Chains A and B, each alone.
Chain A
Amino acid sequence: MLTKLSTYHHTELSEALLKGTVEMTLGCFSMRIKATDPTLLDFLYDAYRDVPTNLELSDVTDISLKVHAPNILRRYIRRQVIADPGFIVPAAPLPPRLSPLALEMGLNLSVALKCCRFTTFHSAVVAKEKGAILISAHSGGGKSTLASALMNDGYRLFSDEFGLMDMSDASLWAHPRPVSLKGQSIDIVKEFTGAEWITKTLTGTPKGDIAYRRVRPSDIEESSTPAFAKLILFPTFIEGASPHARELAKAESLMKLIPSSTNYHLLGEAAFKGLLKLVKGARAYEIVYGSTEDSMQMVRDLASGAGL
């Protein structure tokens, strides 16, 4: 049952993708992918190389995503692809060479909007033995770069996009998809991880250059073990700024985390009670930094102060 994606031949994976029976399991969510465009294959072999995959569905899945042409015409003429997670996505169609972007975007939207088992926050989560760091920021807020740097510092990746919190005890759960890197971050991260971990750069996307850091085998192996947050960070990157941190009151961090959640309001009382536990169990800081090295030093200090 735990067959890596890389063990499958091109033809069989391609057929399964067309049928929509590619089933991947990453931590707490399983995904089912259907794709009509072959350009996705290279990306899957690269970024999802070590992810447990079946070519026949073994069960229904949490996420079900199709990447296909927006209509019959666009399948053959001036080809385009869109992500179809089962609801309408308000995004412009993309050229097929950017289908990995459609895939990643579609998977993100699925986690954000469909999955209600956890309270979901826009945040990166990494963890060590003693607990987790939750880095709360919206897309482009630098959390992916920070998460990558921490991955190199002995932390395991839970997710670079979503904090997934169990409401009964505020534990955090892993769903370690490829880390998305934009613009300058690509080179920054390549430097400290090594270029062999980063996929080919997608150029000319609506958000500039994008590349992905492959899912790490060690992160996959440990992806069913939860962790408790010991440190909550709200980072702001300002070019050239001198690094500083401000500790937040628990009520402050509660009120900052609420709007960063995609389903807090929907989940109601259980989410409130879970979030109370989360903020009570962790120290929270707003941090401002101007470079990755600065942020890393600050985070190391804050982490050790928080018992990590």
Chain B
Amino acid sequence: MTLKWLKIISAESPMPKSIAERANLIDFADAHHVLGQMAVAWAGKAKGKMKDVLENGLLRTEFDHRMLQFEMDRLERSLEGTGVQPVLLKGAAYVACGTKAGEGRRVSDIDVLVCENELAKVEECLINTGWAFDLGVDNDYDLYYYRKYMHELPPLRHNKRRTIIDVHHSLLPRTSRMKIRTDLMLKASISIEGRALRVLQPIDMFIHSAVHSFADGSFDTPARSILELHYLLQHLNVSEINKLIPRAEEVGGIKATATALWALSTLYQDETAASLFRQYGLKPVSSLVRYALTQKINNVESATFAKFLLFTRSHFLRMPLHLLLLHLGRKFMRRALKLIKKADPQES
């Protein structure tokens, strides 16, 4: 049931006739943070109470976009005169360059990418203008973990506004098994008109979204990720589509891109994705992981085993095994044990 709902959310399928189903669909969209996107897709077509409810979602995303604009202003102000032009990533990028993937999309933290040699300067400017390392990262081990193994400074939170900026210098951790050519993607980045900020070029945006969803993340927001990939793919023109797979090979993101195209063709029935998948004879990720992904999108609440699988997997990809065990041992073993117990009722 939820698979067909994605198409309704994007207004590519009609609203269910049953009111109860409509009500459940709204609850689903809201829980998966895509109500605003649904509101945009159905703008002008929804009436009465449905319109009121969709409006709630839209107002929240409009607020997010205003906050984003303010944060971008503040970021530019902070870096004035340095010549550094950070590349916006993910939601912030989609909203800032006005692409379909950004319409009605919720945005909270800003993720930016800078060259490694600009990192110190950016850190200095931000610290001088009211940002500080987020207190959530509140012990030396976490700070050490972030700097050494992750792909970003610890997140920075503004002391007055409480908003967060994540500054990355690479799209994946140094210790990751997958090597992404961040340098190539940075080089091909394009400037946002009227701003001292940049975004990735459209095909790199798709590849990064695929990497983020399937190689880096644990697919926590499946509905949102699928819609995002669909809109990003839709945005590519014919020549860009022809360059997508070669580029994914070039930057080292082919596995994630293949999985993304698989997900789009099977879970969303996206024609473009399906034909690309066939055309290049791509291989998706292992069947166990495919099972987990499908479980997640079908029924997020009860997919605890799937969640555990994806959680370990994403960490598996980020760190070499011995480091992973050490890290898991220290931070996540209790949580991992809880998940195992939950998945097996006899254990309780």
Interface on A for B, CB 8 Å cutoff? 20-21, 30, 32, 56-62, 64, 72-73, 86-87, 114-117, 265-268
A32 to B24, CA, bound (A): 11
- Does residue B321 face the partner (Cβ distance < 8 Å to A)? no
In the complex the two chains form, is B23's CB within 8 Å of A30's CB?
Answer: no
A86 to B56, CA, bound (A): 14
A87 to B48, CA, bound (A): 24
Partner among A56, A57, A117 whose Cβ is within 8 Å of the Cβ of B52: A117
Q: A86-B30, A87-B31, A266-B60 are in contact. Are A60 and B55 (CB under 8 A)?
A: no
| B161 CB → nearest A CB, Å | 11
Instruction: Report the interface size for chain B: residues with CB under 8 A from the other chain.
Output: 22
What string of 1s and 0s marks CB contacts (under 8 Å) between B17-40 and chain A? 001101100110011000000000
In the complex the two chains form, is A60's CB within 8 Å of B31's CB?
Answer: no
Interface of B is mostly: helix
In the complex the two chains form, is B63's CB within 8 Å of A268's CB?
Answer: yes
Which B-chain residue is minimally distant from A59 (CB atoms)?
B49
What string of 1s and 0s marks CB contacts (under 8 Å) between B88-129 and chain A? 000000000000000000000000000000000000000000
Top 4 closest pairs, chain A to chain B, by CB: A116-B59, A266-B63, A57-B19, A59-B49
In the complex the two chains form, is A64's CB within 8 Å of B59's CB?
Answer: no
Partner among A60, A72, A116 whose Cβ is within 8 Å of the Cβ of B23: A60
A64 to B20, CA, bound (A): 11
CB within 8 Å: A-B pair count: 58
Pull 19 A–B residue pairs with CB atoms less than 8 Å apart, ordered by A: A20-B20, A21-B20, A57-B20, A59-B48, A59-B49, A59-B50, A60-B19, A60-B22, A60-B50, A61-B53, A62-B49, A64-B23, A86-B30, A87-B30, A87-B31, A115-B56, A116-B55, A117-B52, A117-B56
A75 to B283, CA, bound (A): 43
Greatest chain A CB density within 10 A among B26, B59, B348 is at B59
A57 to B66, CA, bound (A): 36
Collect the chain B residues with CB atoms within 8 Å of residue A265's CB: 63
| A115 CB → nearest B CB, Å | 6
A87 to B28, CA, bound (A): 11
Collect the chain B residues with CB atoms within 8 Å of residue A61's CB: 23, 49, 53
In the complex the two chains form, is A267's CB within 8 Å of B63's CB?
Answer: yes
6 additional contacts (CB under 8 A) given A60-B19, A73-B348, A266-B60:
A20-B20, A56-B19, A61-B53, A72-B345, A117-B56, A266-B59
In the complex the two chains form, is A62's CB within 8 Å of B348's CB?
Answer: no
In the complex the two chains form, is B49's CB within 8 Å of A86's CB?
Answer: no
A96 to B26, CA, bound (A): 28
